[in-house]
Amino acid sequence: MWRAASALSSRCAHRCAAQPIIFANNVGPSISRRGTNAAAAAKHTSSHLRTFSSQSNQADYLCVHVFVSVKPGTEEDFMLASLENARASSLEEGIARFDVIQQEDDPSKFVLVEVYKNADAPAAHKGTNHYAQWRKTVEHMMAEPRKAIKYKNLFPATCDGWDYGADANLE
């Protein structure tokens, strides 16, 4: 769905000023509307403009994927501890997203997808009580040291594409 600046998430709206951005034919709608033909997408694009500030709403976020392998038999405990940490982490001011995913064909493998809004946010996260508790709880469950890889996000390019918003229902 295309949203106007007034519908942005509450954590992002204070940084956003409305400025129209016009997508070239087939760029916006063809990505988000599966099964739409090019003519219909072009018509939709021309009649529905997405408005947000391309500067103040820019999401220059740091995305960190933390790869974790746990010992057999600890998968459930690791998942519960990680979900508790993710719930608390998702409320931090500097975090846009904090996802916990588990590999389908090997339940001992997890990835934590952490999306930070600024360069100071990872250190702030590591200074929280919930992170310290998570680390202490899962330390003995690790089959090997966890590995983190940092990425620069390219898409979504705006903060409203990443942020849950304070009123999001995550469970």
Q: What is the mean pLDDT of residues 147-155?
A: 93
| 55 vs 82: which has the higher pLDDT | 82
pLDDT > 90: percent of the chain: 54
Residue 122's pLDDT band (boundaries 50, 70, 90)? very high
Please give the biggest Cα pair distance in the chain. 57
Residue of higher predicted confidence among 77 and 29: 77
Instruction: Using alpha carbons, select from 116, 112, 114, 113 the residue that is nearest to residue 93.
Output: 116
The pair of three-digit structure tokens given for residue 56, joined into one six-digit string: 């103040």
| pLDDT for residue 109 | 98
pLDDT for 53 = 40
**Is the per-residue pLDDT at 36 higher than 60?**
no
Rounded to two decimals, the pTM is 0.66
pLDDT given at position 147? 98
For position 55, what pLDDT does the model report? 55
